Structure 1
Amino acid sequence: MPPGLKDVAARAGVSIKTVSNVVNGYVHVSPETRARVQQAIDDLGYVPNVAARQLRSGRSGVIALAVPELQTPYFAELAGLIVQAAERRSWTVLIDQTDGHEDRERNLVAGLRRHAIDGLIFSPLALAGEELTSTGDTPMVLLGERVWHGPADHVAIDNTAAAADATTHLAALGRRRIAAIGAQSPASAVTAHQRLAGYRAALEGAGLPEDPALIAEVNSFHRADGAAAMARLLDGPAGAPDAVFCFNDVLALGAIRTLLDRGLSVPGDIAVIGFDDIEDGRFSTPTLSTIAPDTAGIARLAVDLLAERLGETRPDAEPAGPPRELKVDYRLVPRESTLGRSTGERDCAPGGPRR
C-alpha cells in the first residue's frame, strides 16, 4: 500500500491534521514543523490523493488565467510563473487569451467557461468597474492597471513611479532630449497613461521641458510599433532625441532595430530604456536597460490571494473580507543600452533606483 497521511504523521511525530495542513499549504504551521513534515513526505515518497481531496472539498482543482495576449513575452512569462505557483497547490491552470476584446472579456466574467473552475486570475483591458462584478461565488484576482478599487483583489506595481525612475535614469546620464514611445489616446489604455504621467513627472523633476514632438503614440505594444515610432521621431521636425523611454521592452527592441538600421549607435547616439525585463532584453545587442517588475512576486501573490479566498490558507476560517489593493516591488536595471558595453549591468534596489 502506498504511504498515507497517517504514515507521514507517525514518521514526523506530528498529528494527521498537521500533515494535512502542510500538504494543503496552510500558512499557520511553524517553519520547523513544516520542514520536518516535508522531510517525512520526501522519505516515504508520499503523494497526495488529489482526486479524493477534490471530492471532499467540492472543488475541481482547476483555476483559469485570462491575459490579453500570449505572444507578448511579458504575459507569456507571467503565465509560466502562475502555472508554477499553482502547481505547488496541486492546481491545474486553464489559460485563455482575450486579445483585450470587450465581448470576450465579458463572456469570460459572465461565466461561459467558469462552470469547471474554482477561481480566476484576470488581466482585463476592456472591462472595468461594475462589468467585473458578475462572477458569482467564483473568486477572482485582478492583475494590471485597468481596474483599481474594483470588486476583487488586485495586484499591480506603481507604473507611474517606475516610469519616472526610468526617465530619471536617462536624465541622470546627461540626456536632455528624452523621447517617449508608447503613448495611447483611448481612456482604456491605463498602462500607457500611467507611464506617460511618470515620464512627464521625471522631466519636470529634472528641469527639462516637455516637447510634444518627442512623444510618439502607438497602436499596440509590439516590435513593429516601436520600430515605426522610432523612425517617426528621427524624421520628425523636432530632430532626433538623445534618449528614449519605451513603455515596454518589446517597443524598445523595435526602436533599437530602427536606430541600428539608420547607422546610429546605442547608447552612443541615443540611449534606450524599456519596461518589463523580458528575457529577450537580457540577450539583445546591446543588452536592454529596463524596469523589472517582480513578476514572480505578482504570480505568487495572485495565487495566494485566490487560495485565501477559497479558504485554503486559513483552515476553519471564513475567506478574507473586502477586496485589497496590493503593490509589488520593481527594480531599475541599467544595462548596455544606456550605460554602454564596458559598464555592463547594475541591479538597483527594489522599488526604484538607489538614491
Structure 2
Amino acid sequence: MRSEPLYLRLKEQIREDLLAGRARGEGDRLATLNELQIQYDASRPTISKALTALAAEGLLVKEAGRGTFALAPASARDANPPRLSIGFIAPLTRAELPQNAFRGIDLIAHRRSARVLMASAGDSVEHERVAAHDLAASGVRGLIIYPTVRQGRTQEGDYLVHEDLGVPVVLIDTCTPEQGHAQVRFDNKRAGFQMTQWLLEQGHKRIGVITYREEAHHPSLEARYKGYREALQERGVAYDPALVQRIPPGAQAVRLEAVIDEMLALASPPTAIVAAYDPLAVEVIQYLAQRGVSVPDQITVVGFDNNTQSRHFQPAFSTTAPDFEAMGEIACEMLLDAIESGQSPSQTYILPVPLLVRSDRAQTPV
C-alpha cells in the first residue's frame, strides 16, 4: 500500500481544525504560515501545498493583495461542496485519441462526483514529469497518464519507474509493463496479427510494413509489428526484411516517399502495405496515387486506430477500431476505486481491438 503524502494528511487535519474553529487567526482569517508551522510541526512548503489543495477544493479563499488565506464564506462552501479531483496528462491533450480517452474519463468522473484537471506534456517526457508532480502537489488524489513515447528501450531515468508521485497512478495506451503502476492497454500484438492474417486470407504473401524506427520505442507500434511477424510465421510465409521500412516519428514526406520507392523497386514488390497508423496509411495512398499506383486495385493499404480522417477518406481502407473512450472509463473506475479503498492499483487491463474491414476490394494477387 502506498503511503499518503504528508501534505495530504496535513490538509485533512487542517480541514478538521478549521471547521472546528481551530487553526484560525482573527475572524475567518487563517493563522499565519509561521503559526501553522509551529502548530503542525511541518515545513513551510508542506503547509503551503496543503493550503493550496484546500483552496482548490473551495474551503479556503486567497485574500487579494495579502497572499494569505481565509475560510471561504459558509454560503460558498455549502454551494460548492469539496469534490475529489484527479489529473489527466497526455502528450497532446487536443489530439484525437487522447480526447477520446478523456471523454471516457470525464464521463466516469462526473458520474462519481469527481472532477478532472488536464495537463499537456507536449511530447516531452520532462514536461510530462513536471506536470505529474505539479498536479500531485495541487491536491489531486490520483493521476491517469497517457505516456509520451520514450526514446530508446532503456527504462533508466524514466520517472514512472523510479519516482514516487505520492498518489495512485493509472497508465493508458502507450505504456510498457516495465513502467509499473496499474495499466489499461490495447492488445496491439493481436491487432497486428489479425490484420496480417486478413491480408494473407486475401491471397497476399508480399506484405510490406511501414512503421517507426526501433529507437522510437513506441510500444503500440512495436506490438503490431510483432503480430505481423507471428502471422507470417503461422502461415509459413517467409519474412523478408526488405519489405519492412522504418521511419523516424514525424518524418517528412520526402522520407516516406523514399521508402515507398524502395518497396516499389524491389524485384518482387509488395502487393499490400501495412501502415503503422491511419494518417500514415493516408499519406501512403496519396503518394501511391501520385506514382500512378491504384489502391486497392494494384496495392492494398491498411492502417490502425479508425482515425476520423480515415473514416471519410477515399479510397476506403481497412483499419482497426480500438475503443479509447472505454479505455478512459476503465482507467477512471480503476483510479477512483483505488482512491476510495486506499490501495494502490496494480492490475493490468488489456482491451481487444476489433478489425474494421471497410472494403472487400482488397486486391488479390495472381
TM-score, length-normalised on structure 2?
0.68
Structure 1 position 183, deviation (Å): 3.5
Paired position in structure 1 for 2:7: none
Distance 2:192 2:254 in 1: 19
Q: 2:218 aligns with which of 182, 189, 194?
A: 189
Paired position in structure 1 for 2:317: 288
Paired position in structure 2 for 1:328: 351
Listed one character per residue, the Cα deviations across residues 256-300 of structure 1 (whole Å, up to 9, x for unaligned) are 111222222221111111111122222111223112112222111
Distance 2:336 2:163 in 1: 20
Q: 2:192 aligns with which of 152, 157, 163?
A: 163
Paired position in structure 1 for 2:159: 131
Paired position in structure 1 for 2:308: 279
Contact kept, 8 Å, 2:208 with 2:272, in 1: the verdict is: yes
Paired position in structure 2 for 1:15: none
Paired position in structure 2 for 1:79: 102
Distance 1:267 1:226, change over 3 A: farther
Distance 1:72 1:175, change over 3 A: farther
Contact kept, 8 Å, 2:102 with 2:325, in 1: the verdict is: no
**Counterpart of 1:184 in structure 2: which amino acid?**
R
Distance 1:266 1:140 in 2: 44
Structure 1 position 71, deviation (Å): 5.9
Structure 1 position 131, deviation (Å): 2.3
Contact kept, 8 Å, 1:276 with 1:290, in 2: the verdict is: yes
Paired position in structure 2 for 1:352: none
Identity %: 26
SS at match of 2:177: coil
Distance 1:306 1:69, change over 3 A: same
Paired position in structure 2 for 1:45: none
Q: 1:297 aligns with which of 326, 336, 339?
A: 326
| Larger Rg over CA atoms | 2
Distance 1:225 1:72 in 2: 24
Structure 1 position 193, deviation (Å): 2.1
Structure 1 position 135, deviation (Å): 4.1
Paired position in structure 1 for 2:60: none
Contact kept, 8 Å, 1:292 with 1:331, in 2: the verdict is: yes
**Counterpart of 1:245 in structure 2: which amino acid?**
V
In the alignment, is residue 113 of structure 1 matched against residue 113 of structure 2? Answer: no
Contact kept, 8 Å, 2:334 with 2:345, in 1: the verdict is: no
Q: What is the number of equivalent residue pairs in this alignment?
A: 278
Distance 1:168 1:279, change over 3 A: same
Distance 2:245 2:92 in 1: 23
Paired position in structure 1 for 2:36: none
- Mapping 1:261-276, distance limit 5 Å: 261-276=290-305
Paired position in structure 1 for 2:183: 154
Paired position in structure 2 for 1:69: 92
Distance 1:122 1:330, change over 3 A: same
Paired position in structure 1 for 2:361: 340
Structure 1 position 80, deviation (Å): 3.4
Distance 1:149 1:169, change over 3 A: same
Listed one character per residue, the Cα deviations across residues 219-246 of structure 1 (whole Å, up to 9, x for unaligned) are 1267948953663344544553110111
- Mapping 1:309-320, distance limit 5 Å: 309-311=338-340, 318-320=341-343
Unpaired runs of at least 5, structure 2: 1-77
Distance 1:286 1:118 in 2: 47
Structure 1 position 323, deviation (Å): 0.6
Distance 2:225 2:251 in 1: 17
Distance 2:93 2:344 in 1: 32
User: RMSD value over aligned CA atoms?
Assistant: 2.8
**Counterpart of 2:85 in structure 1: which amino acid?**
V
Contact kept, 8 Å, 2:169 with 2:345, in 1: the verdict is: no
Paired position in structure 1 for 2:19: none
Paired position in structure 1 for 2:172: 143
Distance 2:232 2:131 in 1: 40
